[in-house]
Amino acid sequence: MDEAHFRELCDYLGFDAARVGSLSGVLGVVEPAFPKIIDEFYAMILAHPGTRRILRSESQVGALKKSLLEWMSSFFTDARDGAYLERRNRIGKVHVQIGLAQVYVFAAMGLVRDRLAAAASRIPDAKGRQAYLAALHRGLEVELAILADGYMEADKYRDLIENAPEMIHSVDREGRFLLVNGTEQRLLGYTLEEFQRLRIDDIVPEARRWEVRSHIQRVFEHGLSHVETQFITKDGRVLDVEIHATGQRDRVTDRIVATRAYVRDMTERNKLQQTLIAKERLSAIGGMAVTLAHEIRNPLAGLSGALQVMERAAAVQKRETGIYAELQGQIRRLNRLVEDLLQYGRPITLRSQRTALGDLVTRTFDLLREGREFKDVALDLRGSARETPVMIDPSVLQQAFLNLFLNSAQAIGGNGTIRVGVDREGDGILLTVADTGPGIPAEAAGRLFTPFFTTKPQGTGLGLSICRRIIEAHGGRIDVKLDGTPGAEFRIFLPLEAA
């Protein structure tokens, strides 16, 4: 409470210097009742589990009795000035800090009021008694208002802390949670009750627990520490976090009793950074690949031409020509690698136009139908968004579809059905390409879109990387189903409007 508000309150309740005079004038008569009132006050606190657990030890009760005695005496004697208000505000703050619910303060004040009023019987003259009682009730209203104000003040800060953009918590030396703000409860998925049963160790991956333990130790020893580690959410997601903590000191002993920690979720930022690094690396590789591919293409063409001449000569002499076919096969393979490399390294420029994805899928499949790998492959195209126009470059996106369909056809050994779904999702289209092949081996899953990674003996390892580049150039995303069931399913999200 500020001083202006305090003055207004005293005015409103009619509590002025004269009232303080009515109290101090009878102090000598009423004071002998104080020790018993204070004993009753603490008996009441100790009798109730809600208030009892606030107290840490018997010795604290002794100190508190002294505090309350001082409080009572100063209530009778002290001028209601700025310094008085400051001391009273502090009591309110202490109660909020120790987590004492407001209702107990009201109950305790009720007891104090009751017993001090009863002490009026010690005042011999009726006028003095009346003046005392009037001053007592008004004075205690002021005290209660200041204590209650401490809670209102705290409420303002509570929202700031509870809903801060960052996670905030406090743990003791053993890592038990003492306090967890709303943001941390929401992000990690645990309720406050669940947190109260957990230690910080329980939400850190095993391999990194030592890191967090020594961080807490540093806070207790040096008063502050900083650590980058990981938290596991209730549903098993791993978050990269950065914790900055300081030590919270006991008001009486001045010893650090808990950490005060600010935790920032760095997962998205780290992911972004890694993607950026990967992109930079890939674009460097891409640049080099294009140069190399250009250099290789010409000698390859020369080699192929020379071989054809030799093959013809061999045919004339009726010699074995199988070896020439084999050599031509190998050259074709090298050519494909060179073409893929060129395509992978070339910057993608889009000439987007509104296109229905269903049509593009059918056209792409028609192109492939004649190929050896597609002889017994059927297309099953479904979904409510087949006709929905999407801003894409059909000739560029077709290349991605070609690669995906080729993959699927190879996975089912050229015999079976490729299922394609085209459906609305949010502000875009979700296109799924599924086959009934063996599925993606778990160990391959994480590297599927990495250049030069392939599980096929004849593959260049660039098909899916090219796909991803094309889809990302359209502002979309591609990923793959990884639930361990057979059959691969690629999921492509494309925004309706170009990014």
Q: Which residues bind ligand HEM (CB under 6 A)?
A: 45, 51, 54-55, 64, 67-68, 71, 90-91, 94-95, 98, 100, 104-105, 108-109, 112, 251-252
How far is the C-alpha of 462 from the C-alpha of 448, rounded, in Å? 10
How far is the C-alpha of 79 from the C-alpha of 168, rounded, in Å? 41
Provide the minimum distance between the beta carbon of 130 and ligand HEM in the complex, in angstroms, as a whole number: 24
For residues 31 and 211, which CB has a smaller minimum distance to ligand HEM in the complex?
31
For residues 69 and 331, which CB has a smaller minimum distance to ligand HEM in the complex?
69
Nearest to 392 by CA among 360, 354, 363: 354
For residues 54 and 307, which CB has a smaller minimum distance to ligand HEM in the complex?
54
| Nearest-10 crossing angle of helices 102-118, 34-47 | 150
Provide the minimum distance between the beta carbon of 83 and ligand HEM in the complex, in angstroms, as a whole number: 13
How far is the C-alpha of 73 from the C-alpha of 61, rounded, in Å? 18
For residues 150 and 428, which CB has a smaller minimum distance to ligand HEM in the complex?
150
Provide the minimum distance between the beta carbon of 42 and ligand HEM in the complex, in angstroms, as a whole number: 9
* Residue 52 DSSP SS3: helix
If you ran DSSP here, which 8-state letter would residue 199 be given? B
For residues 140 and 392, which CB has a smaller minimum distance to ligand HEM in the complex?
140
User: Strand runs (DSSP E) across 182-255, as ranges?
Assistant: 224-232, 238-249
Residue type, 7: R
Q: How far apart are the first and last CA of the chain?
A: 53
Furthest CA-CA distance within the chain? 144
How far is the C-alpha of 474 from the C-alpha of 471, rounded, in Å? 5
How far is the C-alpha of 478 from the C-alpha of 171, rounded, in Å? 41
For residues 87 and 319, which CB has a smaller minimum distance to ligand HEM in the complex?
87
Provide the minimum distance between the beta carbon of 55 and ligand HEM in the complex, in angstroms, as a whole number: 6
Provide the minimum distance between the beta carbon of 90 and ligand HEM in the complex, in angstroms, as a whole number: 5
For residues 430 and 492, is the Cβ–Cβ distance under 8 A? yes
Structure tokens at 471: 């889809």
For residues 49 and 165, which CB has a smaller minimum distance to ligand HEM in the complex?
49
Provide the minimum distance between the beta carbon of 261 and ligand HEM in the complex, in angstroms, as a whole number: 22
Provide the minimum distance between the beta carbon of 146 and ligand HEM in the complex, in angstroms, as a whole number: 10
Structure tokens at 400: 């991605």
For residues 250 and 425, which CB has a smaller minimum distance to ligand HEM in the complex?
250
For residues 72 and 361, which CB has a smaller minimum distance to ligand HEM in the complex?
72
* Residue 403 DSSP SS3: helix
In degrees, rounded to 5, the angle at the alpha carbon of residue 425 between the alpha carbons of residues 440 and 436 is 25
How far is the C-alpha of 434 from the C-alpha of 412, rounded, in Å? 11
Provide the minimum distance between the beta carbon of 63 and ligand HEM in the complex, in angstroms, as a whole number: 7
How far is the C-alpha of 84 from the C-alpha of 91, rounded, in Å? 11
For residues 394 and 361, is the Cβ–Cβ distance under 8 A? no
Provide the minimum distance between the beta carbon of 10 and ligand HEM in the complex, in angstroms, as a whole number: 18
For residues 55 and 117, which CB has a smaller minimum distance to ligand HEM in the complex?
55
For residues 108 and 243, which CB has a smaller minimum distance to ligand HEM in the complex?
108
For residues 148 and 334, which CB has a smaller minimum distance to ligand HEM in the complex?
148
Beta bridge partners of 388: none
Cβ-based neighbour number of residue 277 at 10 Å:
10
User: Strand runs (DSSP E) across 318-435, as ranges?
Assistant: 353-356, 376-382, 389-392, 415-425, 428-434
Alpha-carbon separation of residue 402 from 86, 103, 180, 423, 498 (angstroms)? 77, 71, 52, 20, 21
Provide the minimum distance between the beta carbon of 21 and ligand HEM in the complex, in angstroms, as a whole number: 22
Provide the minimum distance between the beta carbon of 156 and ligand HEM in the complex, in angstroms, as a whole number: 21
For residues 281 and 289, is the Cβ–Cβ distance under 8 A? no
Provide the minimum distance between the beta carbon of 93 and ligand HEM in the complex, in angstroms, as a whole number: 8
For residues 247 and 345, which CB has a smaller minimum distance to ligand HEM in the complex?
247
Distance of CA 384 to the CA centre of its chain: 34
In degrees, rounded to 5, the angle at the alpha carbon of residue 14 between the alpha carbons of residues 116 and 123 is 30
Provide the minimum distance between the beta carbon of 40 and ligand HEM in the complex, in angstroms, as a whole number: 12
Beta bridge partners of 421: 382, 432
